[in-house]
Amino acid sequence: MVNLNIKGKKDNTYDAIVIGSGISGGWAAKEFCDKGLRTLVLERGKNVVHVQDYTTAMKSPWEFPNRGKLPLKIKEDNPILSRCYAYGEDTKDLFSDDKNHPYLQDKPFDWIRSYQVGGKSLTWARQTQRWSTYDFEGPLRDGYAVDWPIRYEDLAPWYSYVERFAGISGNKDGLDTLPDGEFLQPWEMNVVEKSIQQRIMSHYKDRNVIIGRCAHLTKPDAIHLQQGRSQCMARRLCRRGCPFGAYFSSNASTLPWAARTGNLTIRPDAVVHSIIYDEETGRATGVRIIDRLTKEATEYFAHVIFVNASALNSNQILLNSTSSRFPNGLGNDNGLLGKYVAFHNYLGTISAKIDGFQDSYYYGRRPTSIVMPNFRNVHKQETDFLRGYMVFYSAKRGGWTRTVEGEQLGSDYKEALSEPGDWSVFMMMQGETIPKEQSKVHLSKDQTDQWGIPLLRIDVDYDDNDTKMRDDFFSEGTAMLEKAGCRDIKTRDRKQNPGLDIHEMGGVRMGKDPKTSLLNGFNQMHECPNVFVTDGACMTSTSTQNPSLTFMALTARAVDHAVKEMKKGNL
């Protein structure tokens, strides 16, 4: 439902405004609407209707002019976006092009964006792991960043809450490094993955290998059927948008659920310029937007505002929300807004081959890989680098087309085509990077975008800690694969820029002290208490786990707190 009413302040006033409709914004909308609040969701991109607008979801490879590959002209026009693994001929309409969305790079940074209703929840990799006690305690113990204002116990019930609604497949593994959740039926490892699992765990008592946990409905519960979603078909075409609603997205789940309450208004094509601050009340009163198409300015008003535009966009909005009280950005008394940005270290990959298992294959295209929770510096400092990394691996059989000895055409070749090739193994790291004050984003002083908003400057890079972590992964990963019986093991540094992990976090971090953080333990701005930030911008540190599940849990918890405070008259 789209509301373009601009008659006056009364018509543009809501109980709550949510900026952004992606994973965290969708959750904020659902929670506010469920609690009876008239809620406006502002989305800077186009409207995308579930199922109807997944225009490539059911197409076969031969139905694409380039069989899924990007034409050279599109690559040349989108040098940053073209480096994204999920960007292709079949998905290009769900990503935002480079030309119309410029930014400035003080250091190389690949900023991948999906401006549309649903945001990146339509194109994410869907890996969902809880944080552990060790992740929340890490900064305090190791002396980097600032202490988290919450602990695992604060978030555990909210993890359960969002897991039950979203639908997470996984196994009860009983690990303190990767706490169990509310799981649907897990996916299954293939025969080679099981062999590698058994050999690694028999050699390393501190290394646990489990099936990946992901936001897919392997066996839907009643709550998922009520959302209109159905079972995952293991097509692994998820990034095109899922017409079955089998993986969790805002469009398949939280937004339609919110709409059924009658409390939701979605305003697409609304590029947020800034948050409006009232000097007299010491509160934010609304949000100023620029229409993406007409460039007309409109203001919307509410008692509470949730900023969920995605990490760097949220930083940009807050930095541009200036006033006499906050000349350097909303809530930025300590000058830390935009600083301590971090991401995930994906530099290292390893490939290998493994003999045998020629009598085995697998069914379908499982949408998750095998996971090994972090085993480095978990309980104490053990290496010459801080924190650690999670390991992912998978095994598959090679392509069906290959040469045969002798004649290249004829019955021998035809017979060879009927059998799969040999098994190969792929392993990768997902490392925690350390938030640093010099890793920051700020606004350009002289360049603006087509909507008159200052361009974002990004000054973020790797450091020695990331290099040492990569080298440790190469060493340990190679040793593990050798013990698992693999051969022809090859390490590779991807040499990718920060940002291509698409896990940017920080800049508006949570903390206990207003002198060293922007948000309190409920994601509430210290200096402007009716503004909350619950997307990646709020993160104090990154952990080694995928972040989206934590964004969901933080958002549901923060809305619950905000509504309680509103009822008390505090907001």
Tokens of 81: 């976006």
Give the model's pLDDT for residue 403.
Answer: 56
**Residue 269 corresponds to which tokens in the numbers above?**
């094509």
- Indicate the range of 180-189, 399-408, 416-425 predicted with least confidence: 399-408
pLDDT of residue 399: 63
Q: State the maximum Cα–Cα separation within the chain, in Å, rounded to a whole number.
A: 87
Q: Which residue, among 110, 114, 104, has the nearest Cα to 458 in the 3D structure?
A: 104
| Residue-level pLDDT at 411 | 72
| CA distances (Å), origin 46, targets 64, 94, 291, 419 | 23, 10, 11, 45
Which whole number is the average pLDDT over 465-481? Answer: 98
**Rounded (5°) CA angle 322-461-307:** 35
Rounded-to-integer distance, Cα 527 and Cα 517, Å: 10
Domain ranges of the chain: 13-127+234-344+437-461+500-567, 175-211+350-386+388-433+465-493
Here the tokens at position 47 are: 């409207």
Residue 287 near residue 40 (C-beta atoms within 8 A): no
Contact (Cβ atoms closer than 8 angstroms) between residue 132 and residue 147: no
So what's the pLDDT on residue 402?
Answer: 55
The whole-angstrom separation of Cα 259 and Cα 107 is 42
CA gap 456, 442 in Å, rounded: 6
Cα 152 from Cα 133, distance rounded (Å): 5
**Percent above pLDDT 70 for the chain:** 96
Residues in the chain: 571
Average pLDDT of the chain is: 95
Q: Are 168 and 221 in contact (CB under 8 A)?
A: no
pLDDT at residue 9, as a whole number: 83
What mean pLDDT comes out for the span 550-563? 98
For position 1, what pLDDT does the model report?
38
Mean pLDDT across 180-207: 97
pLDDT band at 406 (very low <50, low <70, confident <90, very high): low
CA separation for the pair 552, 253 (Å, rounded)? 13
pLDDT computed for residue 8 by the predictor: 65
Residue 50: pLDDT band (50, 70, 90) is: very high
pLDDT at 287 over 70: yes
User: Which has the higher per-residue pLDDT, 507 or 67?
Assistant: 507
pLDDT (tens digit, 9 = 90+) per residue, 504-517? Answer: 999 999 999 999 99
Q: Give me the mean pLDDT over the 365-387 stretch.
A: 97
Mean pLDDT along residues 353-372: 94
Angle formed at CA 535 by CA 29 and CA 555, multiple of 5 degrees: 45
End-to-end CA distance of the chain: 27
Query: According to the model, what pLDDT value does residue 3 have?
Result: 42
Q: Which tokens go with 123? A: 């194109």
What six digits make up the tokens of 25? 């914004």
Token pair for 15: 């109980």
Rounded to whole angstroms, how far apart are CA atoms 81 and 93? 12
Domain 13-127+234-344+437-461+500-567 CATH class label: alpha beta
Q: Whole-angstrom Cα distance, residue 127 to residue 248?
A: 11
- Which pLDDT does position 421 carry in this prediction? 87
Measured in degrees and rounded to the nearest 5, phi and psi for residue 410 equal: 120, -165
pLDDT band at 363 (very low <50, low <70, confident <90, very high): confident
